[in-house]
């Protein structure tokens, strides 16, 4: 049997798979970020540096 929309169906399936892979990649990145030690995280949660440049540097 020949389906005239076969190319369109393949395109839709490929787009669906790409979306799933992108979501999985995002989840993997979030998990990797969540596993970082506190000192590597930006923002308020970061531990203070041993020497603050404003206090130690001329």
Decide if 58 is inside a domain: no
Decide if 35 is inside a domain: yes
> What DSSP string describes 22-38?
HHHHHHHHHHHHHTS-G
Decide if 53 is inside a domain: no
Model's pTM, two decimal places?
Answer: 0.48
End-to-end C-alpha distance for the chain, whole angstroms: 80
Name the domain count of the chain.
Answer: 1
pLDDT per position as a tens digit, 6-46: 888 899 999 999 999 999 999 999 988 888 775 555 555 54
Decide if 54 is inside a domain: no
Decide if 52 is inside a domain: no
Q: Which domain holds residue 37?
A: 1-41
């Amino acid at each position: 049997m020949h389906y005239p929309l076969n190319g369109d169906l393949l395109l839709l399936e490929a787009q669906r798979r790409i979306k799933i892979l992108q979501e999985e990649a995002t989840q993997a990145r979030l998990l990797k970020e969540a596993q970082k030690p506190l000192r590597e995280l930006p923002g308020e949660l970061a531990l203070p540096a041993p020497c603050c440049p404003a206090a130690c540097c001329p």
